[in-house]
């Protein structure tokens, strides 16, 4: 089968995972060009791929020029979050498949437009929620599909990490309403995606309290969210960038009538509890997945995510994390923002919201008085 030609748009910090995935999947794809207005970053990524595969991609500073000059099948977008929608729509309208970093967009309007544009053109839109491919998470999903949990009661997603001011100062777009959102949108979205995927994938009502306690950014550095799902299960999310002095854990817990699973560690890679009423052959093997933490919290899931995305293009099926899947975690977070702004519960299906709608909301709780 013909190798798919990819263009990588955005060569910042996460792009190393895209380069690694391109090398890992080189039998199925060729990363023919990398693009960043900061040419030195694009050159570095081109060198890095050449080292891994022996083949150096072309370097561009303008993705539109690359699209004009090269034969591209798929665009992988890894720019600042605030540019995802505009670039994705450009690429889709030029007939290219799009794999976009999380969050897929910063508003319900933009995300829905991306999904419509892809569907109407028969193109594949994928979103990088790579933790769905972590081995213990795949086993958890199989146990859910096999109904081993019985009636689902609840689940918790805890993202207890530290992001200090130097982290935000390193990339000034972070923590802004126009380009990023707060810790729920940037760091916690992965585990929020896992929670909603595990609890049935159909959120109904969202209530939240968020705030900015410690970091000098516009958006929240802490958030607590409750999600009622249409099947009745309740999801509880605790997300923070304020843990002293360093990352503590990213944990997903799922509780059903006949099963409990807790997958934690630094970035949802380690099985901590795996108890089911009905034992299964694979349980001992799964329980032994106490595992090791990945070298960084990005994990290694991009390799499998690319493989799944390429397969979806070849088979004309949907990738595991299509646009319709990727929008769910985004909407839970946008609903949480609206709930913080209005003090009201938000119905998931009715939501129309953007991070920009938070621009006039002061979420700061910096004064001692305010939190007493
Ligand atoms: N999946 C994950 O685990 C994960 C982890 C980290 C970041 N991310 C996401 O990846 C995205 C990038 O994050 P980052 O930390 O790499 O950011 P970054 O600031 O390090 O890199 C972004 C790069 O995009 C480039 N860029 C901007 N406009 C461009 C354009 N028009 N064409 C080409 N390049 C352009 C910038 O010059 C910059 O080099 C964000 O959306 C972030 O949320 C995902």
142-156, 249-263, 352-366: range with lowest mean pLDDT: 352-366
Question: Residue 296: pLDDT above 80?
Answer: no
pLDDT for the residue 279: 92
Q: What's the 45 CA to ligand 1 centre distance in angstroms?
A: 13
The answer to whether the beta carbons of residues 6 and 22 sit under 8 Å apart is yes
Atom of ligand 1 nearest to the CA of 9: 33
Element (H, E) at 64: helix 63-69
Do the bridges between strand 203-211 and strand 346-347 make them parallel or antiparallel, or are there none, so unpaired? antiparallel
CA-nearest residue, atom 3 of ligand 1: 298
Rounded to whole angstroms, the Cα distance separating 229 from 192 reads: 13
| Lining residues, ligand 1, CB within 6 Å | 9-14, 35-38, 41, 63, 78-81, 83, 101-102, 128, 130, 171, 186, 298
Do the bridges between strand 222-229 and strand 270-276 make them parallel or antiparallel, or are there none, so unpaired? unpaired
The answer to whether the beta carbons of residues 333 and 102 sit under 8 Å apart is no
Q: Which residues pair with 268 in a beta bridge?
A: none
Residue 98, C-beta contacts closer than 8 angstroms, at least 6 positions apart: 74, 75, 76, 77, 88, 91, 92, 114, 118, 123, 124, 125, 126
Q: What's the 78 CA to ligand 1 centre distance in angstroms?
A: 4
pLDDT for the residue 183: 98
Give the pLDDT band of residue 294 (cuts 50, 70, 90).
Answer: confident
Give the pLDDT band of residue 367 (cuts 50, 70, 90).
Answer: low
Omega within 30 of 0 (cis) for the link into 245 = yes
Element (H, E) at 215: none
- Residue bearing tokens 């810790």: 183
Q: What's the 36 CA to ligand 1 centre distance in angstroms?
A: 10
> How many CA within 13 A on the CB side of residue 170?
7
Q: What's the 10 CA to ligand 1 centre distance in angstroms?
A: 5
Per-residue pLDDT reduced to its tens digit, 244-284: 999 999 999 999 999 999 999 999 999 999 999 999 999 98
- Residue bearing tokens 């004009």: 68
Give the pLDDT band of residue 300 (cuts 50, 70, 90).
Answer: confident
Question: Residue 372: pLDDT above 50?
Answer: no
Question: Residue 371: pLDDT above 60?
Answer: no
Q: Which residues pair with 235 in a beta bridge?
A: 155, 227
- The 10 Å Cβ neighbour count of residue 93 is 11
Could you give the percent of the chain with pLDDT greater than 90?
A: 91
Give the pLDDT band of residue 368 (cuts 50, 70, 90).
Answer: low
> How many CA within 13 A on the CB side of residue 125?
30
Give the tokens for residue 17: 């995972």
Residue 147, C-beta contacts closer than 8 angstroms, at least 6 positions apart: none
- Residue bearing tokens 């700061």: 364
Residue-averaged pLDDT of the chain: 96
Atom of ligand 1 nearest to the CA of 42: 39
Question: Residue 351: pLDDT above 80?
Answer: yes
The answer to whether the beta carbons of residues 225 and 195 sit under 8 Å apart is no
Residue 232, C-beta contacts closer than 8 angstroms, at least 6 positions apart: 152
For residues 290-302, one letter each, b for 16 or more C-beta atoms within 10 angstroms of the residue's C-beta and e for the rest, the string is eeebbeebbbbbb
Question: Residue 295: pLDDT above 80?
Answer: no
Q: Which residues pair with 237 in a beta bridge?
A: 157, 225
Query: Cα 52 from chain centroid?
Result: 26
pLDDT for the residue 207: 98
Query: Mean pLDDT over residues 340-347, rounded?
Result: 98
For Cα atoms 160, 164, 168, give the angle at the middle one, nearest 5 degrees.
115
Q: What's the 290 CA to ligand 1 centre distance in angstroms?
A: 31
- Residue bearing tokens 């991070």: 355
The answer to whether the beta carbons of residues 286 and 274 sit under 8 Å apart is yes
Q: What pTM, to 2 d.p., does this model score?
A: 0.97
Per-residue pLDDT reduced to its tens digit, 75-128: 999 999 999 999 999 999 999 999 999 999 999 999 999 999 999 999 999 999
Atom of ligand 1 nearest to the CA of 171: 19
Closest CA relative to residue 239, chosen from 298, 176, 168, 184: 184
Rounded to whole angstroms, the Cα distance separating 100 from 187 reads: 16
For Cα atoms 353, 356, 361, give the angle at the middle one, nearest 5 degrees.
95
């Amino acid at each position: 089968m013909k190798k798919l030609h990819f263009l990588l748009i955005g060569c910042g910090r996460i792009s190393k995972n895209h380069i690694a995935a391109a090398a890992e999947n080189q039998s199925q794809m060729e990363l023919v060009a990398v693009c960043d207005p900061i040419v030195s970053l694009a050159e570095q990524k081109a060198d890095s791929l050449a080292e891994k595969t022996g083949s150096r991609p072309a370097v561009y500073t303008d993705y539109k020029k690359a699209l004009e000059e090269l034969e591209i099948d798929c665009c992988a977008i890894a720019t600042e979050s605030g540019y995802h929608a505009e670039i994705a729509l450009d690429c889709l309208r030029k007939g290219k498949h799009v794999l976009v970093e999380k969050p897929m967009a910063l508003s319900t309007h933009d995300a829905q437009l991306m999904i419509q544009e892809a569907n109407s053109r028969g193109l594949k839109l994928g979103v990088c929620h790579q933790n769905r491919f972590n081995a213990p998470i795949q086993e958890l999903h199989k146990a859910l599909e096999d109904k081993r949990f019985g009636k689902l009661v609840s689940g918790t997603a805890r993202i207890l990490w530290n992001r200090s001011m130097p982290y935000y100062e390193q990339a000034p777009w972070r923590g802004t309403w126009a380009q990023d959102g707060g810790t729920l949108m940037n760091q916690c979205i992965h585990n929020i995606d896992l929670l909603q995927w595990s609890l049935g994938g159909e959120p109904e009502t969202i209530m939240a309290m968020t705030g900015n306690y410690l970091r000098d950014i516009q958006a929240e550095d802490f958030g607590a969210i409750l999600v009622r799902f249409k099947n009745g299960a309740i999801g509880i999310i605790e997300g923070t960038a304020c843990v002293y002095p360093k990352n503590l854990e990213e944990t997903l817990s799922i509780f059903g009538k006949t099963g409990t699973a807790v997958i934690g560690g630094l970035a949802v890679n380690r099985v901590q509890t795996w108890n089911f009423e009905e034992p299964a052959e694979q349980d001992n093997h799964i329980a032994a997945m106490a595992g090791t933490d990945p070298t960084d919290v990005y994990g290694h899931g991009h390799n499998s995510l690319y493989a799944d995305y390429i397969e979806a293009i070849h088979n004309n099926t949907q990738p595991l994390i299509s646009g319709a899947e990727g929008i769910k975690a985004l909407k839970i977070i946008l609903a949480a923002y609206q709930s913080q702004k209005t003090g009201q519960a938000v119905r998931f299906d009715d939501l129309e919201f953007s991070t920009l709608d938070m621009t006039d909301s002061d979420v700061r709780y910096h004064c001692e008085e305010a939190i007493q």
